[in-house]
């Protein structure tokens, strides 16, 4: 199931306090950007947030499940599952 425009709008509304957060259609889902920097991806109405050394420990502390994408991207990258639509 592709990502819905309605879910993107919900995510952008929730992230509005961060400032200029935008979404861009990508590969049947949406990329989520702040000031031109991609930090999330929406696929199947699930928001996946990018993690790196600067924020990984925050995700580990809250026990967010990690999704390894190394094989897909051909490089080391760790993405974490974020918000999922509940209705």
Q: 62 CB contacts (<8 Å, ≥6 apart)?
A: none
What's CA 53's distance to the chain center, in Å? 16
Per-residue pLDDT tens, the chain, 87 aa: give them: 578 899 899 899 989 999 999 999 998 899 999 999 998 888 888 888 887 788 778 777 877 666 554 444 444 344 444 444 444
Which CATH number is associated with domain 5-84? Answer: 3.30.1460
What residue segments make up the domains of the chain, in order of their start?
A: 5-84
pTM (predicted TM-score): 0.69
User: Which ranges of 16-69 does DSSP label H, i.e. alpha helix?
Assistant: 56-61
**Positive/negative CA dihedral, 11, 67, 75, 43:** negative
């Amino acid at each position: 199931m592709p990502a819905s425009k309605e879910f993107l709008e919900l995510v952008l509304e929730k992230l509005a306090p961060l400032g200029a957060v935008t979404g861009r259609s990508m590969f049947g889902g949406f990329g989520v950007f702040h000031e031109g920097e991609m930090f999330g991806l929406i696929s199947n109405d699930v928001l996946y947030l990018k993690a790196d050394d600067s924020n990984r420990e925050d995700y580990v502390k809250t026990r967010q499940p990690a999704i390894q994408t190394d094989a897909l991207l051909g490089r080391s990258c760790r993405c974490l599952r974020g918000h999922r639509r509940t209705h």
